[in-house]
Amino acid sequence: MQREERFGQADRILKIGFWVNVLLMTMKLLAGHFGRSEAVFADGVESACDFVAILSTMIALNVGRKPFDEKHPYGHGKAESLAAIIVALVIVVTGLGILVKAMHSIVDRSFQSPDLLAVLAAVATIVIKEWLYRFSVTTGRQIESPALLAVAKDHRKDAVTSVATLIGVTGAFFGIGIMDPLAAGLTSFFIFYIGYETFKGAVHDLMDGQPSIDFIQSLITLAEGVDGVEHVHEIRGRRSGQFIIVDLKLDMDPDMTVRRSHEIATRVKRLIFERFPNVGDVMIHINPHDEEHEDLIRL
């Protein structure tokens, strides 16, 4: 998949999510207000917060798609991880707001009897948000976009929230008033967990955390299968948005010419690009095979 095609797919997913979110937000705020449901109205406020998440992600994708330049020789992909952190913070703050409001309602015993309109709004939100999650996460995993995956988790958070909202609203509809704010309060803990998971993944990428062991092992197997490569001495990788930057140290015959070792290294790099479309760059260092050498590093 070409670079622009990857970003184009992410753009389409985000735009669909953006406009669907507009409709859901409007529906939930109206249904919560006129249907007299605190949980559904809180759901609508939460959707309003999602605007911040989706807009920040759209901005990050536009920044991240810029090619490398003199000031950013490794590209601008980290903007996606920054956006994922913003999304995570929005998720946590939203959960905190829902929890505080629910606690106030329970302590003050300010329960309302919601209308059927509020129940139907909760059902519609579950169906639509779960569909948006599956729609977004499929593409997010395919192109390995941290920002798009964060938005997908935000959709799943909304779906989970609305399940609890539905339970609470239904209970309150049948006369158990405390069920409405209680459901909203319990849901906030699911929201905190989703926010934590999103934040943890984004920080891992920003701190240049190593990709998965399976990915690293696949690269080693591929490189050592190239004629002329005796051994992969060392391998490191770090994420930059949708792409992974790889550093490889290859052991080769010390009597090999520079030209020949360069040809082999180029062959390894080309194979990696062909096999792994999520790899953005590969830096290869050549070491003499079976000879002692010092790895100079200060980290």
Task: Please report, for the chain, the start and end positions of each structural domain, with discontinuous segments joined by +.
Answer: 3-206, 213-288
Query: Which H or E run contains 284?
Result: strand 279-288
Residue 24: its pLDDT value, please?
Answer: 81
> Which residue carries 């409405």 as its tokens?
180
User: What is residue 159's predicted lDDT score, i.e. its pLDDT?
Assistant: 83
User: Cβ distance 139 to 13 under 8 Å?
Assistant: yes
Main-chain phi, psi angles of 101, to 5 degrees: -65, -40
CA 39 to chain CA centroid, nearest Å: 27
Residue 244, SS3?
strand
Put simply, whether the predicted model's pTM sits higher than 0.85 gets the answer no
More confident residue, 256 or 185: 256
Q: What is the pLDDT of residue 7?
A: 66
The confidence score (pLDDT) of residue 154 equals 79
User: Is residue 2 scored above 60 in pLDDT?
Assistant: no
What proportion of the chain, given as a percentage, has pLDDT over 70? Answer: 91
Is residue 225 predicted with pLDDT exceeding 60? yes
Q: So what's the pLDDT on residue 38?
A: 67
Q: What pLDDT shows up at residue 250? A: 94
* C-alpha pair distances (Å), 150 with each of 22, 160, 194, 229: 19, 15, 9, 39
Distance CA 89, CA 217 (A): 34
pLDDT, tens digit, for every residue of 56-96?
A: 777 777 777 777 778 888 778 788 788 888 888 888 888 88
Residue of 222, 227, 165, 224 lying closest to 190 (CA atoms): 165
| Predicted local distance difference test score (pLDDT) of residue 141 | 82
Rounded to 5 degrees, what are φ and ψ at 207? Answer: -90, 15
Q: At what angle do helices 38-64 and 116-143 cross, to 10 degrees?
A: 20
Give CA–CA dist 156/199, Å, rounded. 15
Give mean pLDDT, residues 274-296: 85
| Across 222-231, average pLDDT | 94
Work out the mean pLDDT of the chain and round it to a whole number: 82
Q: Given this model, what pLDDT does residue 111 score?
A: 67
**Residue 205 pLDDT class (50, 70, 90 cuts):** confident
With respect to CATH, is domain 3-206 assigned 3.40.50.1820?
no
pLDDT tops 90 at residue 264: yes
pLDDT in tens, 90-138: 888 888 887 887 888 788 776 666 777 877 888 888 898 888 888 888 8
Check if the beta carbon of residue 187 is closer than 8 Å to that of residue 129: no
| pLDDT reading at 258 higher than 60 | yes
**Structure confidence at residue 196 (pLDDT):** 87
Q: Which residues fall within 8 angstroms of residue 139, CB to CB, at 6 or more apart?
A: 9, 10, 13, 145, 148
Homologous superfamily of 213-288:
Cation efflux protein, cytoplasmic domain (3.30.70.1350)
Helix or strand run (H / E) with residue 132: helix 116-143
Asked if pLDDT for residue 39 goes beyond 80, the answer is no
Report the pLDDT averaged over residues 174-189.
79
Q: Which residues pair with 238 in a beta bridge?
A: 245
Asked whether the beta carbons of 249 and 287 are under 8 A apart, the reply is yes
Distance CA 167, CA 183 (A): 7
**Residues 163-180: what's their mean pLDDT?**
80
Flag the least confident range among 107-116, 137-146, 204-213: 107-116
251 pLDDT band, cuts 50/70/90, is very high
**Residues 147, 128: Cα–Cα separation, whole Å:** 20
Which pair of structure tokens corresponds to residue 266?
């180029």
